Structure formats: C-alpha cells, structure tokens
Amino acid sequence: MTDEREPNTDAEEFAAADSDDGSEVDDESRTVAERNAERRDDDRRVTLAEFHDACQREGRPVLTAGAVARTLERPHESVSRDLDALADRGELERLSVSTDPVVWYPSELEDLTDRERVVVFPKRREIVVDRPDQFTRAQLSQFAHLADANGERGYRYVVRPEDVWQAPHESFDALARTMRQALGERSESLEEWVHSQWDRAHQFRLTTHEDGYTVLEAKSPEVMGNVARQKLDEDHVHAPISETEDWVREGSEAAIKRLLYEAGYPVQDHRDLDAGEALPIDLRVSLRDYQRTWVDRFAEAGEGVFVGPPGSGKTVAAMGAMAHVEGETLVLVPSRDLARQWADAVAEYTSLEPGQIGQYHGGRKEVRPVTIATYQIAGMDRHRSLFDDREWGLVIFDECQHVPSDVYRRSTHLQSRHRLGLSASPIREDDRQTEIFTLVGPPIGTDWQALFDAGFVAEPELEIRYVPWGDDEQRNAYVSAEGREKYRIAAQNRGKLEEVRYLLSSHPDSKALVFVDYLEQGREIADALGVPFLSGETPHHERRRLLEEFRRDERDLLVVSRVGDEGIDLPTADLAVVASGLGGSRRQGTQRAGRTMRPAGGALVYVLATRGSREEDFARRQLQHLGRKGMTVRERTLEPAEGE
C-alpha cells in the first residue's frame, strides 16, 4: 500500500520541511499582543494525542519538529521543546537522520502489534487497522469495505459510495456515531464525503400510486431533470406526473434502478409489492451471532445479498430470513443438484412438511408454498407464468453472481416484496457485479477473517506449487501454441499427475477432492488413481450416489470437474488439489478453495500450476483475491526430476 506521494526519507527533504516555517521576523517589530499570544501557545504543551493527530494529517508515522509545528499551527521552538519532553518521558523516540534535522515517532510503534491501532487517510477514504477487535470490525463493516486482510500488514478498509448507500442506519447522525465509534474520533473530511453520499442515496424512490401503478419520485425538480430525465427514456417511463414524479412503465423497475445506480443515485424501493400467502415457519436450528446480524439487516432493508465464505452457513441464514418473512418462497438455484440439497435442508432445518416443499426443474415439476427452481427454467417463457401467477413473499437467488448473465436476468422480473441473494464471491470478470446489488439488493456480510478468528470457519492452508513439465512433447507444443491453446496445454501438463499422487500419499488419512477444468485430463487422472470422475456428463442419479457415499465416508477421493464449483456441498472434505482451473475467474478460485472451508480445522488446498507458463501468472493473480480476504497463500517451486 502506497501513499499519494513518495515518503520523505532523505535528510535533505526533512531539512527542507524544517526550514519551511516562515521567514524570521525581528523581535522588536512584533506587537505586544503577538508576543503574548506566542507565550500562551508556549504554555500549552504538545501532547502525545496531538502528535498522533499530526501523524494522521501528514499521512506517515515519522515526523520532523517542523512538520508537527506546521500541522498543529504552533511555534517551532516550543514544539521542539515539547517533543524533547515527550521523549524524556518515553512516549516518543528520537532518530537523527543527519546532523540536522531530527525525526520523531511514537515509542508505541515498538509494540503496535500488541494492540489495536486505527489510522484514517481521509483523502483516499482508507482506514488501516492493526489488530482490530471484533467490535471495531463489526462497526467498520457497516460503512466500509475490507479490501485487504493480512495479519502482518493489518487490515485495510476502503469507504466506497456503495458502502455508504447500503449502510444499515435510519439517519446520517446514526451512521456518523457508528463511524466515530469505529475510528475512535471524528474525521471531519471523511464524514463530509460520507454525508454527501448519504444524500445521494436518498434522492430517488419508487412508490406505488393509489391507482396501482409505480411512480418514480425525486427529492427535487433539479435532480429529477438533471439526472433521471437525462438517463431514462420512453422505454422506462410513460410521462411526467409532476416536476418531481414520473409514471413508470410496468416491468421497467429493475432497469430504472440499475441505470440510476450506475449514475451514482441508488433508488429506494418503497413499492407495495406482493407479500404472498402467509406461511408460518419455525427454525429447528439456532443461528450464530453473525447469521442473526445478517437476518436482522435483511429484515430492516427487505432485500440484500448474504456474502460469506463457503461453510459460513448462508443457506441456514436464508432460512432465518424465510422465518422472518413467513411468506411463500421461491428459491432460484443454478442446478438441479443444488435444488435437491435445498429441499432436503429446508425439510431438515424448518418446521415445514415435505408436502409444502417442491422442486421445479428438468426432473420434477412441483409448485408448492416453498418451491426450488433452476434459473434456466424460471427464465423460460413457457414456464414463466407458473411463477408469475403465484404471489411470492420472498424470492431467494442462490449463487446470485449468475443474476447479471442475460440468460438468468430474465428471472429478476420476479419483483417480490422481499429479495435475498447468496454468494461466497459476488465478483464477475465482466465487471457487472454492481447489477447484482441493483437487481437483488445490497451486500450483507461478515469479513472472512472474522469468521476464521472466531472459529466458525476453518482457514485452509493454501499453497501454489509450480510443477515442471512432465515431458518434452508437451513443453514443445506449448512453445509453438498461441492464445487460449497455450493455457490449455499448460493446464493439462502430465507432470501434474505425479504431483497429485505425491500429495495424496502425503495425506493418507484425508478426504480429498481433485479439481480439473478439462474432461480429458479428469478421465486420465481418475483412471490412474482408480476413482470416479464426477463431471457434467455424469448422470444425475450417479452423481447423487457418489456424493452420498463421499458424505457417509464410504469414499475418500473424487475427481471433480467444473460441476463442483457451485451447487455441491461436500462438508467433510479436508484436502483439495486443484490440478487445473484457476485461469477462469476469481470466483472459481474462491469456490474451489472454499470446498475445504468448514468448522473442522486442518484443511489444505494445493494449487498446481505449470512452472514458467502463463498458468503460473493466472494462479498467482486469481489467488490474490483470497489473500485479500485474509487467507494465507504460500508458494513453492518444484525442481524437475534428475535426467530432465
């Protein structure tokens, strides 16, 4: 992490800073009032807290006396005396970078690793925290995004517009109190920017007219004319009703929300949407504290996306949301395997009877008070009326990173009163992840490191292993190949098979998954190991049987293709070997590494990348995303066998 400017470390620059206190003035030419004012300043000693303030304003922890004097607007001579006094008491340390000047820094820098320390960089809207406690992290999560989490460098939060827009507070004053609690003090310039974003988030809202149609309301004629009526056209609104109101075309609500969000003005949704038939639901499982917080924030907003690592219990938390809404619920999932798992989980963890739970996909066609359907089916015209005709109190979008895809977007016409998304990583390589939050709701979550620290989710040990080529034939083919073919050859490097064998033999008591991106490679590895290969070609009944055997500990090894990236719950896997597949997306890396994130400890993830190939760069880049979420990522280069 770098500041906006290069740090001043040269003695000459420090000396220049000290000399920049203003020109000398003859003492006799000054008025008596000026001299008395200086004496009053001399009597007010610089405190350690004021030195910290100066450090934060300057953006670095080491300052010259001149820099302190300028920042605090105090005489240089008196500041120098005060710094000497603080040093004599052991609160500051001196360091002479040349004969002149001397720089100062807090003695507590010696043991900053033993306590919490919050530093605010208002211009960059960044907050850096060393060893934050759970309370501080919980407060920060209400208005800031965790950008980096590393035990050695601390935690770096960024306050983005969307973090302010979705802050769970009724007023700006309440949000400001949360900020001050998290930061330990008031940051005036940061609060001013946050206040401006808060105002943006309350400029537009959708309401229901007494005649039943939808109205877009603006806070003022200016914002309606300069923003909404510039961005929207006849496809979105019929005609103005007043200077601050437009009549919305039916079905264009989601598009309006998306367009204004992209313009920097999120829309508050206050429509009288269908609530569905009442459906009393009781949970048969207790929610963890952070899951309860997720549900509470969802209850306040009526919409949102639960964001958390695999194993954090997003599905159970979603059932907590169902119990809060107590209305008929439609759950949309990417695969029929996940539909079956949802149906089983709802029957196990809620008071609903099996006859109240239906599945709607290629294998079954049941519409019940709680219906689990695939995105593809819900988006097809011939099936859409089955869902439109029923008033849903809650629609849940599982693995909601799919929602912006054109084929899945059609399902978002289901604008129920409550909408909830679930995702371990709502990141899209086409940069359309903001559409997730406009079509479904704002992100609600707990930072991964907090769940690791609390023991709710085990942090896997993640290691990238750079594997040499298995034979000259593939290496030569790689050199002459171009584009995507280059990556494919590196991904299927036959040298990886021996490394897979070695890792499995090194962990003989582990339940393991081997992930691949290519069917040919998967069959080759599965045949060599004498185990099944689970892919999209595997019949559903066979896939279900293999997964059940794995859960019941009747199998301890499976080779899995991309079908395992989403929608397959393997709660007892404690070893994952990614033989290929991290060249696809950051989300794919999250899903595959996440297959070992469960409360049981000792999870291991090995990522194999061909040494010296493009795959090496892909693996390093994709796993940086996991590193920023708090996971420790190691790297190891393997030497070729003798004779190669």
> Which pLDDT tens digit goes with each residue over 32-88?
444 444 444 445 788 888 888 888 777 667 788 888 888 888 888 888 888 888 888
For residue 373, how many other CB atoms are within 10 A of its CB?
26
d(CA 143, CA 55): 24
d(CA 94, CA 101): 10
Across 264-273, 290-299, 381-390, least confident range: 381-390
Domains and CATH numbers, the chain: 11-110 (1.10.10.10), 115-200 (no CATH), 204-270 (no CATH), 289-449 (3.40.50.300), 458-637 (3.40.50.300)
**Angstrom distances, CA of residue 233 to CA of 202, 424, 455:** 22, 36, 51
d(CA 253, CA 213): 11
Q: What is the DSSP letter of 227?
A: I
Q: Could you tell me whether strands 145-150 and 154-158 are parallel, antiparallel, or unpaired per DSSP bridges?
A: antiparallel
Q: If DSSP codes are grouped into helix, strand and coil, which group holds residue 428?
A: coil
pLDDT at site 274: 64
207 contacts 270 by C-beta, under 8 angstroms: yes
Q: What is the DSSP letter of 448?
A: H
Task: Indicate the helix (H) or strand (E) that contains 627.
Answer: helix 614-628
612 contacts 474 by C-beta, under 8 angstroms: no
pLDDT at site 623: 64
Neighbour-count burial for 422-437, b at 16+ CB within 10 Å, e otherwise: bbbbbbbeeeebebbb
Nearest Cα residue to 571 out of 543, 594, 590, 588: 594
Task: Indicate the helix (H) or strand (E) that contains 128.
Answer: strand 126-130
Average pLDDT over every residue of 87-100: 70
Across 39-53, 314-328, 527-541, 573-587, least confident range: 573-587
Rounded percentage of the chain residues whose pLDDT exceeds 70:
72
Task: Indicate the helix (H) or strand (E) that contains 196.
Answer: helix 188-200
- Sheet containing 329-333, strands listed edge to edge, beginning at the edge strand earlier in sequence: 357-360, 370-374, 329-333, 394-397, 418-423, 303-307, 443-445
d(CA 631, CA 182): 24
Rounded percentage of the chain residues whose pLDDT exceeds 90:
28
pLDDT at site 404: 56
Across 223-227, 355-359, 467-471, 564-568, least confident range: 564-568
Across 327-341, 349-363, 396-410, least confident range: 396-410
d(CA 405, CA 585): 15
Say how many Å lie between the first and final Cα of the chain, rounded.
41
Q: Is the confidence at residue 119, as pLDDT, over 50?
A: yes
For residue 185, how many other CB atoms are within 10 A of its CB?
13
Tokens 């200077």 map to which residue? 243
Residue 411 amino acid letter: S
| pLDDT-based confidence at residue 131 (cuts at 50, 70, 90) | confident
Which range is most confident: 165-169, 358-362, 435-439?
358-362
d(CA 331, CA 339): 8
pLDDT at site 595: 45
Q: What is the DSSP letter of 55?
A: H
Task: Indicate the helix (H) or strand (E) that contains 594.
Answer: helix 586-594
Q: Is the confidence at residue 152, as pLDDT, over 80?
A: no
Q: What are the strands, taking DSSP E only, across 271-369? A: 303-307, 329-333, 357-360
| pLDDT-based confidence at residue 107 (cuts at 50, 70, 90) | low
Which residues neighbour 259 within 8 Å (Cβ) at sequence distance 6 or greater? 231, 232, 236
**Structure confidence by residue, pLDDT tens digits, 488-520:** 899 899 999 999 999 999 988 888 889 898 889
414 contacts 597 by C-beta, under 8 angstroms: no
Choose between 463 and 378: higher pLDDT: 463
On average, the pLDDT of the chain sits at: 78
Q: What are the residue ranges of helices labelled H in 242-333?
A: 253-262, 289-301, 314-325
d(CA 427, CA 588): 10
Q: What is the DSSP letter of 365?
A: B
pLDDT at site 39: 47
Q: Is the confidence at residue 468, as pLDDT, over 60?
A: yes
User: pTM value?
Assistant: 0.57
Burial of 65 (0-12, 13-18, 19+ CB in 10 A): buried
Q: Could you tell me whether strands 245-248 and 237-242 are parallel, antiparallel, or unpaired per DSSP bridges?
A: antiparallel
Tokens of 234: 């006849």
Q: If DSSP codes are grouped into helix, strand and coil, which group holds residue 500?
A: helix
| pLDDT-based confidence at residue 30 (cuts at 50, 70, 90) | very low
Q: What are the strands, taking DSSP E only, across 375-492? A: 394-397, 418-423, 443-445, 461-467
Tokens of 318: 């979603």
Burial of 12 (0-12, 13-18, 19+ CB in 10 A): exposed
Which residues neighbour 569 within 8 Å (Cβ) at sequence distance 6 or greater? 341
Across 94-98, 337-341, 613-617, 637-641, least confident range: 94-98
605 contacts 460 by C-beta, under 8 angstroms: yes
Q: Is the confidence at residue 163, as pLDDT, over 80?
A: yes
Q: What is the DSSP letter of 9?
A: -
Q: What are the residue ranges of helices labelled H in 19-171?
A: 32-43, 48-58, 65-72, 76-88, 134-140, 161-165
d(CA 127, CA 155): 8
pLDDT at site 467: 93
